[in-house]
A = this chain, B = another copy of it.
């Protein structure tokens, strides 16, 4: 990458013209678009008056059932790579399950722990960067230290991870989005998963927070296989290491889906013992609704192809326009699934690009959001979330973004 070709006067004129257009566009968050949500509108009238029995005869309208409906857990067992009997269906969010996993570990010893995390002198998590801001915010809220680890094209840099966890017993966890990672789109290689599952950790109660948010969110027919972290961990003698999370937030409804938690027998006994003090069961009506709508694993697959038809062209547009406009200045990922593109602009200009875009009416995720404490030391990474706006707006927003990148680069070269 070079900034040599950027002509300041041209960049300024282009930006002035952009501002004059008075745009109002938003590519900040990984939200499904209305058209994607429409795909699941049958849910709005399900399970249907008179339908309230689960397959085992449970009246879903009443109290009970800490594990969730077996028929729904079975549908997602394959995609989330957790045997149905070890997969729990819960409320409308996996983020809250991750939050609660941290809370429970803080306040009640996880299997294998010497003490509660709240009683540890120090608790740290590894944070592969660029990564997901909500993961970081969740752990920061509890005063948990975040240690950045570089992401590579096949997952976190395992040489760094292995060295850190081997020597530091304060490191209790690592955040992972193993498939179509937020925001790089990288799927962890078999080697990375195997090393995560088998590495030696100084902490006896180390946990992999395996946020498999995009397990079935393919954009193309090339569907990368992800190694089975639960099975590999068990084989390596670390059965209790992974906490697996997933949800239908970007399959059915972000506001009314179902979250999942999967783990070893010992972890599940710990978990259900604790959540049994908190709830008399999650929303089983919504779980039945989802089971009736999605039917089976093939039903999920067919449904996700409809999503890909809607959002695939948006990702193609991002790549096409960035190629046309910024090949000489920036680099970006070309994900085949998930919700994000990660754009790397010249060092020291990301914040300025976001500021310029905002002034031109284009909202971007704050620069730095992909790093712990919102601090990207290189000030170079910008996350693009193209799913929510209409295709024409995505195109317009990315063209506008390119104008801002060119101006920021030009200003820097002055």
Contact = CB atoms under 8 A, between A and B. Distances in A.
Contacts of A414: none
Interface string A76-107: 00000000000000011101100110010011
A31 B63 contact: yes
Contact of A106 (B43, B107, B274, B281): B107
Nearest to A30: B63
A61 interface: yes
Contact of A256 (B32, B255, B274, B284): B284
Contact of A280 (B91, B95, B108): B95
Contacts of A141: 108, 274, 277
Given A34-B59, A44-B52, A255 B278 contact: no
Interface in A123-172: 134, 137-138, 141-142
A286 B138 contact: no
Task: Bin chain A's interface residue count.
Answer: 35 or more
Nearest to A257: B283
A184 B356 CA distance: 64
Nearest to A106: B107
B103 A62 contact: no
Interface string A42-57: 1111111111100000
B64 A255 contact: yes
Interface in A301-355: none
Given A62-B253, A134-B277, 6 more contacts: A45-B45, A61-B253, A91-B282, A96-B279, A99-B279, A283-B283
Interface of A: 29, 31-32, 34, 37, 40-52, 59-65, 91-93, 95-96, 99-100, 103, 106-108, 118, 134, 137-138, 141-142, 249, 253-256, 274, 277-286
